[in-house]
Amino acid sequence: MANKTFLSIDNLLGDNAFASASRIFQAGAIDNTDLFAAGVIPSSAIFGTIDVSDGGTGLSTTPTNGQLLIGNGTGYTLAILTDGSGISISEGAGSITVDLNINGLSTTAITATDEIPFYDTTGTANGKITFANFESSLTLDNVGGTLGISNGGTGQTTQTAAFDALAPTTTKGDLVVHNGTDNIRVAVGTNGFTLVADSSTASGVKWDTAAISWADHLLLLRAGIS
């Protein structure tokens, strides 16, 4: 502290302790940096709180875990962050944890005018786009990969593989027939059997032994076929 001669602080302030210490500073008797640096006025001798206008918070309450100083228009308020839709917040000693639960978000039907954010890799056109415009510009070329069966595709990239992915057949000789509702598999029959129509079966056809009438048999014999 610079060498200065002055009366003791107690003599200057009397019974008011340090309540009028500003008078010393205003009179130029001593500067506050010297006073605090030399320990003349300990921090314990300062009463009350430091207002926002003086560089303080205006608060004297010890914050609990996770509390933040939040401006209220005139000063500060101690408060914690609150949970939101699908968002849970937990406070710890000197920490705040924010968890996002997608399943906890509220479900809302998407309309054509709804907007979604997008990121331009060039960094020049980040913004938002309506869902209708986004959907119209969505193609496999800009999405990449193949469209799976669950999304209306085949999950394949060649014609034969695509047909095989959709066909119900599994074994050599299997047939695909329509049962009136769906295309279904008719398993390969026994060697020598023929496929005949039969409306009583689920598929409308069946494998059966060849039934040849005597008249047809005679015609075959005449033709030299036995």
Domain residue limits, the chain:
9-47, 68-104, 175-216
**Contacts of 75 by beta carbon, 8 Å cutoff, 6+ apart:** 51, 52, 57, 58, 59
Q: What per-residue confidence (pLDDT) applies to 192?
A: 81
Write down the pLDDT at residue 6.
Answer: 44
Question: What is the structure's pLDDT at 123?
Answer: 65
Residue bearing tokens 């996770």: 66
**Range 25-58 burial, b when 16+ CB lie within 10 A, else e:** eeeeebeeeebeeeebbeeeeeeeeeeeeeeeeb
**pLDDT of res. 8:** 47
pLDDT in tens, 97-147: 999 887 777 777 778 788 888 777 776 667 787 877 777 777 766 666 788
Show the low-confidence residues of the chain (pLDDT under 50). Answer: 1, 4-27
Token pair of 10 as six digits: 């107690």
